[in-house]
A and B are shown apart, each in its own frame.
Chain A
Amino acid sequence: MSLEMFTQHLFNALALGALYGLIAIGYTMVYGILRLINFAHGDIFMLGAYLVFFTTIAFMPAWVAALLLGLTLLAFYSTFVGFGKKPPMWFWIPMAFSICMTGFYAFVAPMDFTPPWVLAAAFAIVVTSAIGITVDRVAYRPLRNAPRISALISAIGVSFFIESAAVVVFSGLPRPVRQPDILVQPIIFSLESITGNAESLVRVTPLAIIVPIISVVLILGLLWVIYRTKPGLAMRAISKDIETTRLMGVSVNKVIALTFGLGSALAAAAGIMWSLRYPQIFPYMGMMPGLKAFIAAVFGGIGSVQGAMIGGLMLGFMEIFIVAFFPELSGYRDAFAFILLIIILLWKPTGLMGEKLKEKI
């Protein structure tokens, strides 16, 4: 394989892997805390992509956007504050954002207004994270003390519900996504200095560079939350011992809701970037990436955020490079991930960075 081809594939693999990693983090965080595989996570990813599509391309009426933001506000408020209590400081950041957006859509924006792309993405992420919190509240929280299998079945139910509702509301037709020009105008750079051949050019879209960068920034932000903030400390504590954490005065349900909110926000971000790279969206688009990200999470060691990112990247590289080196196998592309899953489960079920099961007493 020529160097330019290799470089090209490298960028593709990096972007795909970063996206898998972003989705995998949502699985791994929820699993780490609740020992629950949130099957609806792939569908949350899909909703993120659709929300951006409807705000930018297919025009969403201002009142729908305002309504969604209002509901988001309500979900955040009732989850993290409860009615009649003083909200904590950090709570005002998303709140202020939602209020401004609601006002903007309801009063300032002209009827045919199409929001700038970045604003639409932010809107989609906030709304999607509220949807994630709502899913937890409605489908998982009532089953907190039930056998684990009940919550798992509930997760499968939620997944089918979201997919079917999406077919009804959005229609099942695949829709083309218009990619902003600046994101897809290829950058061409020459590898002449290495190969000595003036013909060796690599064409990379800005998107392929931006996707991994945004992913890394988001993950660093998440790690900061987990390792440097109080709710993060509570999250890590809950993952080991819910009861003791509760004894420290932690509102366990709020922390779990926050986990769902953060995981869903990352899934939405991934969904948006995915719809730009593979510019077609449909209600079942979350299934395959969701399953593969789940495999990435298992591969990296489910429960470990760093592991999910590494697992995602490795899965992305594997998919791209196996097809690149053995083009005749391209039809089996999706099978590789599942073969990997079987191998991992047989050989090292705790994954690359999974915790060992022994414990000192």
Chain B
Amino acid sequence: MLKIENLHVYYGGIHAVKGVSLSIPKGHIVTLIGANGAGKSSTVRTVAGLERGKGSILYKDKNILGRPTEEIVRNGIALSPEGRRILPHLSVEENLRLGAYIRNDKAGIAEDLEWVFSLFPRLKERAWQAGGTLSGGEQQMLAVGRAMMSRPELLMLDEPSLGLAPLLVKEIFSIITKIRSLGTTILLIEQNAFAALSIANYAYILETGSVVLEGSGQELLHNPQVKAAYLG
């Protein structure tokens, strides 16, 4: 569904992504693992049109590199950004409705709103509360729910477990597998290698801007190198 070929991203003089290639088949969870500064976020941000890059990003066999973000979102790619980026002054429901901005089907939006609320009952209790007053875990749920409101075909999640308690991480990851089972393709960025590899169909390991290792989730989970470097 998404094929990144030889992608380079620069920030001024810094070469953040150095020729990354990866492919994400439809209906899979593909995870991108690596330490801080490995170029994971730069890669997804470029896919979402927030950064400029060189190379090619083929989505449904069309190059989307350099297209404006709104067009990419309209084509069915959603990114739940790093740090959750909830709009603190908007209510939970408004945050979700903003996620559905590109859609005009009122009934469908209402339906999906209910669906997100059923997925995250805690959000329903807080529907009218300002997003900024939620706890970290609730904000993460809201960020995932908001990204799903555009009914994406490809959902990119940038570190959904960041700063969450282990129990919440488990909950988020079970939701992610649930979203896959509904037919959404997922690109998951993680530092929490164990959790990510456990649910991923395929994984890439990034180090200082290049892919150093790739393989199926289970394979990498048992790879001694990965164990030493990421699983502890």
Contacts and interface: CB of A to CB of B under 8 A. Distances in A.
Interface of A: 230, 233-234, 236-237, 240-241, 243-252, 355, 359-360
A244 B89 contact: no
Contacts of A247: 48, 50, 69, 73, 78-79, 81, 85
B50 A243 contact: yes
Give the interface SS of chain A, mostly helix, strand, loop or mixed.
helix
A37 to B, nearest CB: 22
Contact of B70 (A233, A241, A251, A360): A251
Contacts, number: 66
Given A246-B69, A248-B73, A249-B150, A233 B85 contact: no
Interface of B: 48, 50, 69-70, 73-74, 78-79, 81, 85, 87-90, 94, 97-99, 101-102, 132-133, 146, 150
A248 B99 contact: yes
Contacts of B88: 240, 359-360
B81 A244 contact: yes
B85 A244 contact: yes
Contacts of A245: 87, 98
A308 B41 CA distance: 40
Given A250-B70, A251-B70, A360 B132 contact: yes
A249 B70 contact: yes
Given A249-B73, A360-B88, A237 B98 contact: yes
Contacts of A243: 50, 81, 85
Given A245-B98, A359-B132, A237 B90 contact: yes
A32 B65 CA distance: 31
22 contacts: A234-B98, A236-B94, A237-B98, A240-B90, A241-B85, A244-B81, A244-B87, A246-B50, A246-B70, A247-B79, A247-B81, A247-B85, A248-B146, A249-B74, A250-B98, A250-B101, A251-B70, A252-B70, A355-B89, A359-B88, A359-B132, A360-B132
Ranked nearest first, the 7 interchain pairs of A and B with the lowest CB-CB distance are A249-B73, A249-B102, A244-B85, A246-B69, A248-B101, A251-B70, A248-B98
